[in-house]
Structure 1
Amino acid sequence: MRLKARPLVLSAAVFTMAISAATGQSTSPKVAERQQDMKAMAGAAKIIDAMFKGTSPYDSRAFKAAAESIRVHSGNKLSALFGAPVVAEGTKASASIEADRPTFDRLAAELAAYAAALSIAADRNPDVLSPGMRMPGGDAMMGGPLAKRKAAAPDPMKMPAEHAFHMMLQTCTSCHAKFRVKGE
C-alpha cells in the first residue's frame, strides 16, 4: 500500500509563529491574526480607493470582494481578536482598548456597517461606478479624520458609497488614534 503525499497547509497564524520563532521574534497567534486581518483590510481599502480615484477601473466584483473582506474582518471578529489581554509582544495595541471597550466595540461595528454598505453598493451598480455612488460636490471628507463625531452615527445605507467609504476610513483613523500605542 502506497501512501499519497499530502501538501503541507499551514494557517497564516501558524506560519507567522514559525517565522517569528526562526527570527527570534515572539508574536502570539492572536497578534499574528490581528496583524494579518489589519493588512487584509488595508489592502482591500486600497482597492476601493483606487476605483474611486479612477486609478483603477471599476470592477463591481473586485469592489464587492474588497468590501466583504473588510466586513468579515471587522465587527465582532475584530472585537474578539482584541479581547483581554490586549497588550502582547509584537503589538501596537494599547491597553486603552480594555479601559474603553464600549468605544472600541462601537468602532468595530461601525467599520462593519460601512463595509456592508459598500458591498451592497457594488451589487446595485454592477456595470459602472455610478454618479449615485459618488459624494455630491467631489470627494473631500467633511470634517476630516479627527473631527468631532456626532453622538449618533449616520446610516451608511442612506449615503453614497463614496461617503460611506470616507466614513469607514475615518473610523479606522479614529480607532488607531485612540487605541494604538503612541510614538511607534
Structure 2
Amino acid sequence: MKKTTFASAILLAGTTLTALAHGNATGIVKERMESMMVMGDAVKSVTPMMRGEIAFDADALREAARIFQAHSGTALTEKFPEGSGGKPSEAKDAVWQEWSRFTDLAEQLATYARGLEMAAGNGLLAGGGMSAGSMMGGGSMMGGGSMMGGTAGMMSAKDIGAMPADAAFNMTTQVCSACHARFRAEDD
C-alpha cells in the first residue's frame, strides 16, 4: 500500500498547490485547474478507505471513479488548447511537444477509471500490502514504458475491473502521477 499512499500524497499536494494558483488563472487554464482539483478531491475522499483507515464503501469508490471518468480522456485534453501554457498554468511545454503521449495518458486514465468503477465491488485485497505493481509482475508503472510511452502495454478496463479495489485505485492514481511527473511544472 506504500505506492498507493505515495501516489495519493502526490495528488493531494498537487490539489493544494492548484488551489493556491487559481487566484491568478482565468479562462481555460482556470477550468483545467478546477478539473484537476475535482479529481484530487475525489482521490482525497477515498484514500482513507484504500489505507484501511475507514470502512470500505464501494459506492463512494464508484463515485470517485465516475469523477475521474468525467475529467479524463477527451474531456481532459480539450482543456489544453495550443497556446494555453505559461504562468499561471502549471502545464509544461512538453504537453504540446509530446501531444500524442499526453493524450495517451488522458485516455489511459479514462480506461483505468472505468476499470476502477468495476473493481469497486471487489472489495480490498485480503491481507493488504500488495500493490498493483506487484500484481503486474513487479516494477512500478511510473517509470515503465507502457505508462510513459503510450498505450501499447495498457491494461483494459476489464482487466483493471477484475482487480481488488485498492489495486485498481493504485493503478489509476499511478496514471495521474505519471502524467504529473512528465507534464506538470514544479513550483519555483
Shorter-chain TM-score: what band? 0.7 to 0.9
CA deviation after TM superposition for structure 1 residue 165, in Å: 1.6
What is the match of residue 154 of structure 1?
Answer: 155
Please say which structure displays the higher CA radius of gyration.
Answer: 1
Unaligned runs of 5+ in 1: 1-15
What is the DSSP-based 3-state SS (H/G/I as helix, E as strand, rest coil) of the residue aligned with 1:81? coil
Q: Percent identity?
A: 28
Structure number having the greater helix percentage: 2
What is the match of residue 55 of structure 1?
Answer: 53
Tell me the TM-score normalised to structure 1 length.
0.73
The 3 A distance-change label for structure 1 pair 62 and 181 is same
What is the match of residue 110 of structure 1?
Answer: 108
CA deviation after TM superposition for structure 1 residue 135, in Å: 8.0
**C-alpha contact (below 8 Å) 1:86/1:94 kept by paired residues:** no
CA deviation after TM superposition for structure 1 residue 84, in Å: 1.0
CA deviation after TM superposition for structure 1 residue 145, in Å: 5.2
Larger RCO (alpha carbons 8 Å, 6+ apart): 2
The 3 A distance-change label for structure 1 pair 145 and 173 is farther
> 2: distance between equivalents of 1:165 and 1:60?
12
CA deviation after TM superposition for structure 1 residue 87, in Å: 0.5
Equivalences, count: 155
**C-alpha contact (below 8 Å) 1:75/1:111 kept by paired residues:** yes
CA deviation after TM superposition for structure 1 residue 183, in Å: 5.0
Tell me the TM-score normalised to structure 2 length.
0.72
What is the match of residue 170 of structure 1?
Answer: 174
RMSD over aligned CA atoms reads: 2.4
Q: Which amino acid aligns with 2:33?
A: Q
Q: Which amino acid aligns with 1:149?
A: G
Q: Which amino acid aligns with 1:148?
A: G
Unaligned runs of 5+ in 2: 1-18, 134-138, 147-151
Out of 59, 64, 67, the residue aligned to residue 66 of structure 1 is: 64
